[in-house]
Amino acid sequence: MKGLRVAAGAVAIILCQCGTPSPPRCHSLPRESRGEASVYLGQARQAWQVLSSTDNAEVRGQAIATYNDAVSKLFDRLHCGRGTVHEKAAAMGCTIDETRSLGAGIRLADLDALLPADRISTKAVGERHVVAGLGVPVVGWKKTAEEGNRRWEFEPPTGIPLNLTAVLRFPPGQAPQWAFLYPGRAETVQVGRREVATAADWSAPSAFYWQMSNLDDLDLEKVLLPSRFSDETALYVSSPYDPKRIPLVLVHGLYSSPGTFKRMYNELNREPWFRENYQVWFYSYPTGNNWTYSAARFRQEMAKADKFAREHGPVDQWERMVIVGHSMGGVISHASLKRPGDAMYHAFQKRPLEQVTQNRETRQAIELLTKYEPLQPPDRVIFMAAPHRGSPMADRFFSNLIRKLIRLPKKLTIDLVDLTLNDFSSVLTTGETSDDGWFTSIGSLSPSYPAYGALREVPFRDGLKVNSIIGDRGKGDTPDSSDGIVPYWSAHLDHVESEKIVPSDHSVPANLEGALEVKRILKLHLGNSAGTMP
């Protein structure tokens, strides 16, 4: 055991060296942009005039290419070097249009960084999805406000990326004017009396977020030292809450983070119907804790979000919510969408609760863990590689070793009620009751964990639509298949609306066929709810 403690300490020390990165700075102009600004302004102005006066498709295409090349070189002058963007625009003889917010109440002067989208690597999120058109796609970055300063509700940690397109306008009789547009709303740019499609890069902003975020940098630490991240357990929304869009809530699994969905999000976000109708939320939590406890915390955070939504406008779209749960996140979602009655409690403890403990707060905490009401909404849940009956991997030697390295918090808090591990053990009297056992996430993923039997006894909440996506590693051997972590017999559920087998290992959200199946289901969900297919 001493060796295990030393190993855990060494891992923690190494992991603690990570920090939130700073946005990249452009200190000097790239070589290709070091020509005279007046020359580039002349080229852009001439192309603008051509676009405003011709209907010839070939000529317009050439004018757009010339304009974009010149504007990209001028934008380098705007974001590189010292001084504010306003000072640098003035030095070029330009102004900046700040009559509209860039989003979330943010204006250009509020940004901590502004950089060209094509210089951001999208390798981590998959294929780059762009729309050809007028303007230069750029990404704005605004750090999350410090404690004590105004934040919007459920603002993600680290900061937020803004998807923008830089356009240089040439109004008659006025100085050239920079405008920064969100291409999802400004789908065209007015050039004279003509409308020209706006250029867009739908992959760079999310790719940059994951370069800047620390949510997926400390996955192992969140397993081994969950107490360090207990206070950061929360729901986050990708942009300020919009009651006109359907929430898509993403719940990650063990040794993971919301970043597990970044490739899937990249595939979804390329679709106009998705951007117009859905808003992504993600749930982040330390994955070393027992999933029964993590599910209780999830319900607690969802209740906060539900209260907020009902205080901020109509809830017709809110109630059409879809949850996507991957791996242990699927089990957390599964448990939260059933009304267990006494089944969950009796899976662990046959004695009446009042005989187990006389402490009122302990009884309340046990009820929050085992005798709760299911979430409502969502209207639909999509399970991805979820071990509904546990995973045999949890009982393997290496998993047992990792389980012993996990350092659980001394107190677990649910809905402002503190529950100690000693309190928890008053319920977990069947089988292992030490802190090396079912109190940890890995221990609770053992097929022998009694909560799985309880979940099988009770149905899902009335009216819930259920879909499953399961990996088979491309072997085509279902029902004898496995994704390498979760066998088919554990991931399969009877009576679901659909079940899709994809050629993937356990990383189903990163699999293109898995993402396309989510896309199909969300499009169907939108059509079923709205009465028409988008």
What span, in angstroms and rounded, lies between the C-alpha atoms of 327 and 325?
7
3-state secondary structure 188-241: EEEECCEEEEECEECCHHHHHHHHHCCCCCCHHHHHHCHHHHHHHCEEEECCCC
- Which of 166, 203, 155, 162 lies closest to 23 in space, CA to CA? 162
DSSP string, 327-373: THHHHHHHHHTB--TTHHHHHH--S-HHHH---HHHHHHHHHHHS-P
Task: Assess whether the previous peptide bond of 377 is cis (omega < 30° from 0).
Answer: yes
Return the structure tokens found at 177. 């004017």
Per this entry, what is the length of the chain? 534
**Domain ranges across the chain:** 31-206, 226-529
Q: Give the H or E element holding residue 443.
A: helix 441-444
At position 452, the amino acid (one-letter code) is Y
What span, in angstroms and rounded, lies between the C-alpha atoms of 129 and 201?
6
Assigned CATH for 226-529: 3.40.50.1820
- Sequential pLDDT tens for the chain (534 residues): 333 333 444 344 334 444 567 888 898 999 999 999 999 999 999 999 999 999 999 999 999 999 999 999 999 999 999 999 999 999 999 999 988 778 777 888 889 999 999 999 999 999 999 999 999 999 999 988 766 666 778 988 888 999 999 999 999 999 999 999 999 999 999 999 999 999 999 999 999 999 988 666 555 555 445 455 556 688 999 888 999 999 999 999 988 888 899 999 999 999 999 999 999 999 988 887 889 989 999 999 999 999 999 999 999 999 999 999 999 999 999 999 999 999 999 998 888 888 888 888 888 888 999 999 999 999 999 999 999 999 998 776 455 655 555 556 666 677 757 666 666 666 665 544 444 466 787 888 999 999 999 999 999 999 999 999 999 999 999 999 999 999 999 999 999 999 999 999 999 999 999 999 999 999 999 986 543 333
Residue listed under structure tokens 């909440």: 461
Give rounded-to-5 percent helix, strand, coil for the chain.
40, 20, 40
